[in-house]
Copies of this chain bind each other. A is one copy, B any other.
């Protein structure tokens, strides 16, 4: 996400917490306190969102300094230091919750993605995300998926044409839908079609779909569909969705599909546990003018 856009998103989030000041910090501290905050992993996780964490504090005070001890996409174990932040302790306290809310959530997405990716390692199948993202955080969550080793599907409804069950119901079948799409779609965009039965797979091939999404099929159905597509339409990409879990994703990958999309990566990833431990003092990285 470009910094000028991230800044706007973070400002809105900070405003949720700070529009009426910080009653606690303002009641307790009346002048700057040199302080250092250590960002500590309290579980196994993949780091994502450190740039957002940094933006939170830069917006509160440009003199605050962040030092990253782990790069985005790296793994952390319980007790690992992810990084540190150094500056006026009052601003560390004001930004702490907002900064952690982003970091814990995005690292949660990256961590869950990595677990799925690890399950299909060596299979040639890619784990991909969906548009089932948190309202307002789509770009950040899609980046966290990439950091976890996943691939991105559509970013928004203006990307490729994806003809799903509800479109098919209103268009009167896969063949009709594909014909309409072909007639009016300009060249930069691809067409993907969802199929829930072998008959729809065939219609999709005949209609010229570039990607076929096998939705909610059983493993035998998936295998049969893959065989059909590879034989009659070798250039077509195959994606699977629906009911994908950590305990069955490897079997699905074993069917020889190209992509497996998992809504849970973004809609149900639990936050990972990360804390910020703040102490008086100055770190080597600087921040807080000496005066």
Contacts and interface: CB of A to CB of B under 8 A. Distances in A.
A164 B220 CA distance: 45
Contact of A170 (B33, B169, B211): B33
Nearest to A34: B170
A23 interface: yes
Interface stretch (A136-144, A223-231, A282-290): A136-144
28 contacts: A2-B18, A4-B11, A16-B156, A17-B138, A18-B158, A21-B158, A23-B159, A24-B157, A25-B167, A27-B185, A28-B163, A28-B167, A29-B171, A35-B170, A92-B166, A101-B134, A101-B135, A108-B268, A128-B186, A153-B186, A155-B158, A158-B159, A159-B188, A170-B279, A187-B211, A187-B258, A188-B211, A264-B270
Nearest to A158: B20
Interface string A1-39: 111110001111111111111111111110001010100
A156 B20 contact: yes
B161 A24 contact: yes
A277 interface: yes
Copies of this chain assembled into the complex: 6
A57 to B, nearest CB: 11
B166 A276 contact: yes
A177 B93 CA distance: 14
A87 to B, nearest CB: 12
A257 to B, nearest CB: 11
Given A93-B166, A189-B190, A133 B18 contact: no
Interface of A: 1-5, 9-29, 33, 35, 37, 59-61, 89, 92-94, 96-98, 100-102, 104-105, 108, 126, 128, 131-139, 151-164, 166-167, 169-171, 177, 180-181, 184-190, 192, 211, 235, 237, 239, 258-259, 263-264, 267-268, 270-271, 276-280
A24 B167 contact: yes
Contact of A96 (B92, B136, B166, B237): B166
Contact of A17 (B102, B104, B157): B157
Contacts of A98: 135
A231 B188 CA distance: 22
Contacts of A239: 187
Contacts of A105: 134-135, 267
A73 to B, nearest CB: 12
A157 B28 contact: no
